[in-house]
Amino acid sequence: MSTCAVLSFRLGGTDGVSIVADTWINALHRAGFEVRTVAGEGNVDVLLPDLAIGQWPDGASGLHGPDAATDADIARLTQVVSTALADCDLVVVENLGSIPMNLPAAIAVARAREGLPTIWHHHDPAWQRDRYADVAELPPREAVPSGKWRHVTINELTRQQFLDRGFAATTILNGFDVHAGLGDRESERRRLGFDSDELVLVHPVRAIERKNVPLAIDIAQQLGATYWITGPAEEGYAETLRSLLEDARTSGLKVVHEPSTSLADMYAASDVVVFPSTWEGFGNPPIDAAIHRRPAIVGHYPVADELRALGFRWFDPDNLDALETWISAPDESLLDHNVEVVVSTLSLEVMESALTDLLNEAGWLP
């Protein structure tokens, strides 16, 4: 049986990259691969701590400063990665070759995979974030082009940006389980202390700057809703989040900062999904909201406009009148429509078909 390794900073968690990686892992299994997970952290088959986010000092690159990774460190890590992947027929690199949250690891993986079948799956490349604008090492290029690498983006905007930088890439949109069961609304609301008639606005994100927590809080205040944010603070945002939530509570807003029991229970327990991000490589929550039959307020980050073009009907964070009208008299046809858009354009079946076509074109199907 052919073996495929799926490799990243972390896998098996609730972050967007891990969730999408899980759908690819299942698709690769169905394509006939034995799949091995390799990451710096998480519940994985092969744990290589040097791949983890923040493993090397000095912020974005990890290549500068007296304590940063040296050429010898990278050479050692290249050998470690090569050994871990030695018997793999194919490797899928999930975002580790896209964003420099561990650049020494990305360089090592690229060297280890030189001339070998590799899919670089890009969720949000470096140039899409101001803090990484000067990083030139990613995405990796083969020292000697072999035709054995494929670059895959999760949206057309990023694919065009790759093309502008001299990289051929294929877009495979994220896939979603349109048959996911609905959660237990009453039990989850009872656990979190929500009253039966309480309007709950869920913000299902890790708390980082681009998720636009201030606007989400403002929307909750305008709607007179409880604000429920489910993810932890990351990327140095903890103190900012603490201050924002404290100020919101002082102003009289009910705030809950706690993870859900499950994804299905989270959507079941909520009434509206808020997602006012300023940037996303894709943005899974509005799609999940559609599957779980919840209205969504979605910001105007560039890829959201690309998703809107598929046909989604989302509410505008700058004009809540339409949502307030909908809340007062819910129109199920809007929810029906959004489910149909997911089924026809973003189902797991659609994603798997696109991935199979790529593997077939490359000659990598088992």
Mean pLDDT, the chain, integer? 94
Each residue's pLDDT tens digit, 292-310: 999 999 999 999 999 999 9
- Residue 261 has a CB neighbour count (10 Å cut-off) of 16
At a CB cut-off of 8 Å and minimum separation 6, what does 261 contact? 183, 184, 187, 188, 191
* SS3 state of residue 298: strand
Position 57 confidence tier, pLDDT thresholds 50, 70, 90: low
108-111: long-range contacts, CB 8 A cutoff, minimum separation 24: 108/50, 108/74, 108/77, 108/78, 108/80, 108/81, 109/7, 109/51, 109/81, 109/140, 110/140, 110/142, 111/74, 111/78
Each residue's pLDDT tens digit, 82-126: 999 999 999 999 999 999 999 999 999 999 999 999 999 999 999
Using alpha carbons, select from 221, 173, 191 the residue that is nearest to residue 349.
173
Position 221 confidence tier, pLDDT thresholds 50, 70, 90: very high
What does the alpha-carbon distance between residue 314 and residue 339 come to, in Å, rounded to a whole number? 12
Question: What token pair was written down for 22?
Answer: 């899980």
DSSP conformation letters of 148-205: -EEEEESSHHHHHHHHHTT---EE----B-TTPPP--HHHHHHHHT--TT--EEEE-S
pLDDT of residue 64 exceeding 70, the answer is no
pLDDT score for 59: 41
Question: What token pair was written down for 152?
Answer: 């895959």
- Residue 34 has a CB neighbour count (10 Å cut-off) of 14
Residue 35: enclosing H or E segment and its boundaries?
A: strand 34-42
Cβ-based burial of 195 (10 A; exposed 0-12, middle 13-18, buried ≥19): exposed
pLDDT score for 63: 44
Distances (CA, A) of 120 to 17, 116, 171: 13, 12, 12
pLDDT score for 66: 39
- Report the percent of the chain where pLDDT is more than 70: 97
pLDDT score for 294: 98
Do the domains 185-345 and 3-175+347-362 match in fold? Answer: yes
Position 58 confidence tier, pLDDT thresholds 50, 70, 90: very low
pLDDT of residue 67 exceeding 50, the answer is no
Worst-scoring range by mean pLDDT, 37-46, 50-59, 241-250, 353-362?
Answer: 50-59
What does the alpha-carbon distance between residue 176 and residue 283 come to, in Å, rounded to a whole number? 12
Distances (CA, A) of 142 to 105, 113, 114, 274, 296: 16, 9, 6, 41, 42
Each residue's pLDDT tens digit, 163-217: 999 999 999 999 999 998 999 999 999 999 999 999 999 999 999 999 999 999 9
pLDDT of residue 65 exceeding 60, the answer is no
Tell me what the mean pLDDT of segment 28-35 comes to.
Answer: 98
Using alpha carbons, select from 17, 112, 10 the residue that is nearest to residue 53.
10
Who has greater pLDDT, 59 or 3?
A: 3
pLDDT of residue 71 exceeding 90, the answer is no
* Sheet order of strands, 226-229 included: 255-257, 226-229, 200-203, 272-275, 296-298
Cβ contact 266:200 at 8 Å: no
Distances (CA, A) of 316 to 23, 215, 299, 313: 29, 12, 7, 10
Each residue's pLDDT tens digit, 129-158: 888 888 999 999 999 999 999 999 999 999
Worst-scoring range by mean pLDDT, 12-16, 18-22, 194-198?
Answer: 12-16
Tell me what the mean pLDDT of segment 49-64 comes to.
Answer: 66
Question: What token pair was written down for 299?
Answer: 């910001």
Domain 3-175+347-362: CATH superfamily is: Glycogen Phosphorylase B; (3.40.50.2000)
State the architecture of 185-345 in CATH terms.
3-Layer(aba) Sandwich (3.40)
Worst-scoring range by mean pLDDT, 8-17, 118-127, 333-342?
Answer: 8-17
Domain range summary for the chain, segments of one domain joined by +? 3-175+347-362, 185-345
